């Protein structure tokens, strides 16, 4: 078992630890790779044009967090605590942003509020290019993530607490403040940090709609792609790591507490119908859901007409990607290949890794180290990982540099980029299994891999499928992780969106972004069918 | 105790978890075919000792021999045992038959032979009809028996049971005690069972190892453990026991409050502080007139009906306020009209009194 753990551990070291370490080193080096100490940092903090981005990043992240978390909380409250109709539909709508690249809301906002936008008057003369646009786009992007976390927290509600409160004649507001909110507080804290970190590290929205408003993520991109100043790119990356690592540490501490809450035996809460409240919640969800859908609908509509909103003649011209600035239709094919490979290979690696961490006996130090490496990607923004890959895999001395700009390195990068969530999902599934399975097998003289194959894998198959679809969807939409390491032959659909937006072909960018959306919807649908089929075929034992 | 060479020999076994000593220098011998219970409160080290025998938690120091072979350093796969856990750890996605067959299936095994053996085992545990069911479709007791059959399938030399009955309903538990014991007799496998349930240990074991704080308090047959508990801990842990503090007056006499009782207090110097222990069922109510030795006049403070007998709380000036619990037969209570506040004279038979050094009443 240690050998297997070593192999996957080695993968994490090569694909994560070494590149990151090298990048930290680069931030202390001059253009000729000579050691210059903190000189780069000193230069960074004495250049207002650069360090102003820190304040900008913190500002848009704070603003987005303050808006998104309450919005998501009310939405989650409506889904769990009201008896309004169509709750399933509204949950599905709220999750739409997960399926699109973070570039898409920016494109749609340009169509809506841009210089020639449909309803630009709504901004009262303010420009959408800048903090307003970034915050609006980020709310769209982060909403489902906050919602899922808060939903999980609210779902933990113990009906007996509510019954006790009612029996003590507490009025509704008091029940809300003394039972509902405290029960969801860890979820709220967790959602706050996830939203904040996502915004700080997101690259798509500020790239498309940030205009002259510089943030940390776009600075990394400009330093590296625009000015070829890799050292300064490394410095900004390190600065970008700080809030992400900070938020990650707090989030982990909070999540651990939430788990402790979960272990108590609770009776699930069933809301009772209340006409006025349910209607108010329904109205809220309709407005919020419509806002989310409008982003997608506008993008699709703009992609199908000659010139939105002035010439609404239908045309397929924007889908002629091969004639545009991006990687053409080939990039779409590349994205599907990447997503498929990441889904399959990533799931296998993540699952086996989690199994070894959870079930191996002894060797505590090695397992602890492995677990740390598996948790690390959550705290590493995609751009930082990508830049680290330039330093590590593009180095002439590295024998692995043949991989640079190949599909292989894109898969390696994407698997690592999204490793943590998969790892945690797998761990959760594995921890639900009796810890004595391995012991029993050992007493029956069976090798561990036989039990892994005959029991662990079949029992955890639904979770493995969840990891696979998560990896697939994220591989389709990611930009930040791969923007530095794709090659001419491996351009991806999401990168094409970026490049076509750069060359002003916004309608085509929107068309490609929507192709990603539809692909993800199809993948989700397929995942659902497969999961159902699997449940019927291999999960018969779950039925009593 | 036994004349056969021991099948399992544990020598000076110690297991530490960091600074905490879970098992402290334990030595023990178990004969072939014996059914031994490790009994003690939670945290006494009984499970740790079992896991050391299985090789799941290798001991910090000490030696384990099984069938004359030193297994101290072997991993679980190289040892010869079958194990049943409290959770049963049945593979949920495999049927009962597949679970039982799990240890039998390997490259060399013939399908037909495996099927035959599984058939035998399922019949043996009375689940011949249920082989095709998944664990979730079986009752707790049935799952327990499947786990037992799976552990016995490979005919191990040693069967380890880790609180195997604790997860079951009271009625099923009592029924299965008998069944497990019968099965063990029939198969003749040396068995170690860990339990915190004294009744389970008393009814099932050939010998009981009472453990406390990582050490062995007493090893003996159920009757020995119950009748002659070696320490106040054992006396208190097994069954119900009255403890009364006293002082040795001379050989054969101890003073309790204002009363002197005759008992086997030999070996204690006069003036030694001691604790007397006597079981409630050994206290007899004086029926007739004739004065027996060790007769005490007591007042009934409370009386509780426990179905097959009454338990009376007795107090009296004779014992200086100490409480004595006595189990009284139903017909006797009726005949003498014993109720709260009535006075009775009771006899504490000399041969039923056990004496422990020290006056701290163990509670």
Q: What is the mean pLDDT of chain B?
A: 89
**DSSP character string of A324-358:** SSS-HHHHHHHHHHHHHHHHHHHHHHHHHHHHHHH
Q: Give A360 to chain B, closest Cα distance, Å.
A: 12
* A104/A121: higher pLDDT: A104
Q: pLDDT at position A77, please?
A: 93
Which run of H or E residues covers position B242? strand B242-250
- Nearest residue to B84 via CA among B16, B158, B31: B158
Q: Give A44 to chain B, closest Cα distance, Å.
A: 48
Q: Which residues of B touch A445 (CB under 8 A)?
A: 77, 103, 106, 154
pLDDT per residue over A394-423, tens digit each? 888 888 888 888 999 999 999 999 999 999
Residue B332 in contact with partner chain A when CB distance is under 8 A: no
- Under 8 Å between Cβ of B159 and B151: yes
Q: Residue B89 is nearest to which of A434, A447, A539, comparing CB atoms?
A: A434
Q: pLDDT at position B47, please?
A: 93
Question: Is B136's CB within 8 Å of A538's CB?
Answer: no
Torsion of CA B105, B109, B115, B118, to 10 degrees: -60
Q: Residue B92 is nearest to which of A441, A443, A459, comparing CB atoms?
A: A459
Q: pLDDT at position A249, please?
A: 83
pLDDT per residue over A26-36, tens digit each? 899 888 888 88
Residue A543 in contact with partner chain B when CB distance is under 8 A: yes
pLDDT at A60 over 90: yes
Q: Residue B137 is nearest to which of A447, A459, A544, comparing CB atoms?
A: A544
Residue A541 in contact with partner chain B when CB distance is under 8 A: yes
State how far the Cα of B136 lies from the Cα of B143, in Å rounded to an integer.
8
Q: Helices A506-538 & A328-359, crossing angle to 10 degrees?
A: 40
Q: Copy the structure tokens of residue A496.
A: 């094409």
Residue B135 in contact with partner chain A when CB distance is under 8 A: yes
Residue A363 in contact with partner chain B when CB distance is under 8 A: no
pLDDT at A263 over 50: no
Looking at chain B, the whole-number percentage of residues with pLDDT higher than 70 is 97
Model ipTM over 0.85: no
Q: Helical H runs in chain B?
A: 46-54, 96-101, 111-124, 140-152, 170-187, 198-204, 222-227, 232-237, 330-336
Q: Give B223 to chain A, closest Cα distance, Å.
A: 33
Q: Which residues of A touch B85 (CB under 8 A)?
A: 434, 436, 439-440
- Nearest residue to B181 via CA among B156, B196, B161, B155: B161
pLDDT per residue over A211-260, tens digit each? 899 999 999 999 998 888 888 999 999 998 888 888 888 877 877 766 55
Question: Is A541's CB within 8 Å of B135's CB?
Answer: yes
Question: Is A440's CB within 8 Å of B75's CB?
Answer: no
Q: pLDDT at position A250, please?
A: 82
Q: Which residues of B touch A447 (CB under 8 A)?
A: 77
Q: pLDDT at position A76, please?
A: 95
Phi, psi of B298 (to 5 degrees): -130, 155
Find the residue in B nearest to A452 (Cα).
Answer: B91
Phi, psi of B84 (to 5 degrees): -125, 125
Find the residue in A nearest to B81 (Cα).
Answer: A443
> What's the whole-number mean pLDDT along residues A470-475?
96
Q: Copy the structure tokens of residue A170.
A: 């507490």
Find the residue in B nearest to A444 (Cα).
Answer: B103
- Under 8 Å between Cβ of B280 and B311: yes
Q: pLDDT at position A88, please?
A: 92
Q: Residue B154 is nearest to which of A444, A538, A540, comparing CB atoms?
A: A444
> What's the whole-number mean pLDDT along residues A144-160?
85
Q: Chain B 98-117, CB below 8 Å of chain A: which residues?
A: 102-103, 106
- Under 8 Å between Cβ of B362 and B236: yes
Q: Which residues does B181 contact at the CB level (< 8 Å), separation at least 6?
A: B35, B203, B204
Q: What is the mean pLDDT of chain A?
A: 89
Question: Is A455's CB within 8 Å of B91's CB?
Answer: yes
- Under 8 Å between Cβ of B316 and B322: no
CB atoms under 10 Å from CB of A40, counted, come to 21
Q: Copy the structure tokens of residue A355.
A: 């199994």
Question: Is B92's CB within 8 Å of A540's CB?
Answer: no
Q: What global pTM score does this model have?
A: 0.84
Environment class of A286 (CB within 10 Å of its CB; exposed 0-12, middle 13-18, buried 19+): middle
Q: Which residues of B touch A540 (CB under 8 A)?
A: 134
Residue A342 in contact with partner chain B when CB distance is under 8 A: no
Find the residue in B nearest to A442 (Cα).
Answer: B77
pLDDT at A265 over 60: no
* A104/A367: higher pLDDT: A104
Highest averaged pLDDT of the listed ranges A335-344, A427-436, B124-133, B138-147: A335-344
Residue A364 in contact with partner chain B when CB distance is under 8 A: no
Which run of H or E residues covers position A247? helix A230-262
> What's the whole-number mean pLDDT along residues A104-124?
89
A321 falls in which pLDDT band (50, 70, 90)?
Answer: confident
Residue B182 in contact with partner chain A when CB distance is under 8 A: no
pLDDT tens-place values along chain B, 363 residues long: 446 679 999 999 999 998 999 999 999 999 999 999 999 998 899 999 999 999 988 899 999 999 999 999 998 888 999 999 988 899 988 999 999 999 888 767 788 889 999 999 999 899 989 999 999 899 989 999 999 999 999 899 999 999 999 888 888 888 899 999 999 999 999 999 999 999 999 999 999 999 999 999 999 999 999 999 999 999 999 999 999 888 898 888 898 878 888 888 777 888 888 899 999 999 998 876 667 788 888 899 999 999 999 999 999 877 777 889 999 999 989 888 888 988 888 999 988 999 998 876 544
> What's the whole-number mean pLDDT along residues A431-438?
86
Q: pLDDT at position B204, please?
A: 95
Residue B154 in contact with partner chain A when CB distance is under 8 A: yes
Residue whose structure tokens are 């080695």? A10
State how far the Cα of A178 lies from the Cα of A208, in Å rounded to an integer.
43
pLDDT at A72 over 90: yes
Q: pLDDT at position A123, please?
A: 85
Residue A440 in contact with partner chain B when CB distance is under 8 A: yes
pLDDT at A54 over 70: yes
Chain centroid offset of residue B127 CA? 29
Q: Give B315 to chain A, closest Cα distance, Å.
A: 44
Q: Residue A439 is nearest to which of B76, B150, B156, comparing CB atoms?
A: B76
What b/e sequence results for B279-288 when a residue is b if at least 16 CB atoms lie within 10 Å of its CB, and e otherwise? bbbbbbbbee
Q: pLDDT at position A235, please?
A: 93
* A163/A331: higher pLDDT: A331
**DSSP character string of B37-77:** EEE-STTSSHHHHHHHHHTSS--SEEEEEETTEE-TT--GG
* A22/A259: higher pLDDT: A22
Neighbouring C-alpha atoms within 13 Å toward the C-beta of B41: 8
Q: pLDDT at position B81, please?
A: 93
Q: pLDDT at position B362, please?
A: 47
State how far the Cα of A247 lies from the Cα of A193, in Å rounded to an integer.
6
Question: Is A443's CB within 8 Å of B102's CB?
Answer: no
Q: Copy the structure tokens of residue B13.
A: 């076994």
């Amino acid at each position: 078992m240690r050998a297997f753990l070593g192999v996957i551990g080695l993968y994490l070291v090569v694909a994560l630890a070494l590149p990151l370490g090298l990048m930290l080193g680069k931030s202390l080096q001059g253009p000729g790779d000579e050691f210059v100490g903190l000189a780069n940092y000193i230069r960074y903090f004495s250049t207002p044009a650069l360090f102003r981005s820190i304040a900008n990043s913190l500002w848009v992240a704070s603003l987005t967090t303050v808006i998104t978390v309450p919005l998501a909380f009310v939405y989650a409250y409506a889904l769990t605590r009201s008896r309004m109709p169509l709750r399933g539909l509204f949950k599905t709508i709220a999750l739409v942003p997960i399926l699109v690249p973070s570039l898409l809301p920016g494109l749609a906002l340009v169509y809506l509020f841009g210089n020639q936008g449909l309803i630009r008057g709504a901004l009262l003369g303010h420009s959408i290019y800048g903090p307003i646009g970034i915050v609006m786009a980020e709310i769209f992007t982060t909403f489902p993530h906050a919602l899922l976390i808060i939903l999980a927290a609210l779902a933990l509600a113990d009906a007996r607490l509510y019954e006790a409160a009612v029996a003590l004649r507490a009025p509704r507001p008091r029940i809300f403040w003394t039972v509902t909110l405290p029960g969801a507080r860890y979820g709220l804290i967790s959602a706050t940090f996830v939203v904040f970190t996502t915004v700080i590290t997101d690259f798509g929205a500020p790239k498309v709609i940030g205009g002259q408003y510089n943030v940390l993520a776009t600075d990394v991109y400009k330093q590296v792609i625009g000015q070829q100043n890799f050292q300064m790119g490394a410095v900004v990356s390190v600065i970008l790591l700080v809030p992400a690592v900070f938020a990650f540490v707090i989030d982990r501490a909070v999540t651990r507490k939430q788990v402790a809450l979960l272990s108590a035996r609770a009776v699930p809460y069933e809301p009772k119908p209340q006409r006025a409240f349910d209607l108010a919640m329904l109205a809220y969800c309709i407005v919020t859901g419509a806002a989310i859908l409008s982003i997608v609908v506008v993008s699709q509509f703009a992609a199908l007409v000659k010139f939105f909103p002035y010439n609404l003649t239908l045309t397929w011209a924007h889908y002629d990607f091969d004639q545009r600035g991006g990687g053409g239709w080939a990039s779409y094919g590349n994205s599907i290949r990447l997503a498929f490979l990441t889904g399959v290979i990533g799931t296998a690696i993540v699952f086996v890794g989690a199994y070894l961490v959870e079930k191996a006996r002894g060797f505590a130090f090695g397992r602890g180290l492995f677990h740390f490496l598996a948790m690390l990607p959550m705290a590493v923004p995609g751009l930082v990982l990508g830049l680290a890959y330039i330093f590590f895999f593009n180095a002439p001395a590295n024998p692995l540099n043949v991989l640079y700009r190949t599909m292989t390195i894109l898969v390696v990068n994407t698997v690592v980029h999204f490793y943590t969530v998969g790892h945690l999902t797998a761990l959760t599934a594995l921890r639900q299994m009796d810890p004595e399975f391995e012991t029993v097998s050992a007493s029956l003289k069976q090798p561990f891999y036989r039990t892994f194959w005959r029991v662990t894998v079949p029992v955890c198959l639904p979770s493995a499928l969840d990891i696979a679809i998560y990896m697939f969807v994220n591989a389709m939409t990611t930009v930040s992780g791969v923007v530095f390491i794709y090659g001419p032959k491996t351009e991806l659909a999401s990168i094409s969106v970026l490049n076509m937006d750069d060359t002003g072909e916004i309608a085509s960018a929107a068309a490609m972004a929507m192709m990603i959306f539809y692909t993800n919807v199809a993948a989700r649908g397929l995942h659902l069918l497969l999961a159902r089929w699997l449940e019927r075929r291999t999960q018969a034992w779950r039925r009593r | 105790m036994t004349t056969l060479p021991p099948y399992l020999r544990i020598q000076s076994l110690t297991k530490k978890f960091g600074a905490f000593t879970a098992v402290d220098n334990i030595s023990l011998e178990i004969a072939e075919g014996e059914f031994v219970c490790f009994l003690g409160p939670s945290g006494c080290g009984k499970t740790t000792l079992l896991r050391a025998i299985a090789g799941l938690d290798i001991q910090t120091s000490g030696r384990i021999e099984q069938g004359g072979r030193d297994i101290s350093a072997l991993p679980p796969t190289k040892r010869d045992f079958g194990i049943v856990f409290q959770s049963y750890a049945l593979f949920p996605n495999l049927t009962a038959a597949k679970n039982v067959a799990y240890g039998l299936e390997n490259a060399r095994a013939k399908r037909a032979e495996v099927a035959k053996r599984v058939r035998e085992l399922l019949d043996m545990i009375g689940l011949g009809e249920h082989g095709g069911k998944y664990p979730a479709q079986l009752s707790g007791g049935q799952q327990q028996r499947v786990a037992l059959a799976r552990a016995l399938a490979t005919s191990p030399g040693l069967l380890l049971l880790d609180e195997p009955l604790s997860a079951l309903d009271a009625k099923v538990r009592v029924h299965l005690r008998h069944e497990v014991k019968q099965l063990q007799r029939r198969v003749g496998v040396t068995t170690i069972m860990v339990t915190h349930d004294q009744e389970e240990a008393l009814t099932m074991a050939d010998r009981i190892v009472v453990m406390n704080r990582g050490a062995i308090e007493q090893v003996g047959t159920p009757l020995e453990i119950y009748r002659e508990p070696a320490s106040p801990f054992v006396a208190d842990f097994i069954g119900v026991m009255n403890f009364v503090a006293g002082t040795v007056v001379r050989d054969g006499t101890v003073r309790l409050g204002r009363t002197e009782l005759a008992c086997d207090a030999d070996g204690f110097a006069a003036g030694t502080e001691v604790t007397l222990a006597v079981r409630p069922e050994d206290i007899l109510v004086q029926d007739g007139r004739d004065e027996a030795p060790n007769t005490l006049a007591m007042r009934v403070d409370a009386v509780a009906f426990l179905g097959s007998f009454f338990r009376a709380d007795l107090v009296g000036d004779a014992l200086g306020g100490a409480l004595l619990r006595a189990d009284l037969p139903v017909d006797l209570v009726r005949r003498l009209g014993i109720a709260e506040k009535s006075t009775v004279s009771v006899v504490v038979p000399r041969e039923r009194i056990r004496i422990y050094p020290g006056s701290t009443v163990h509670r």
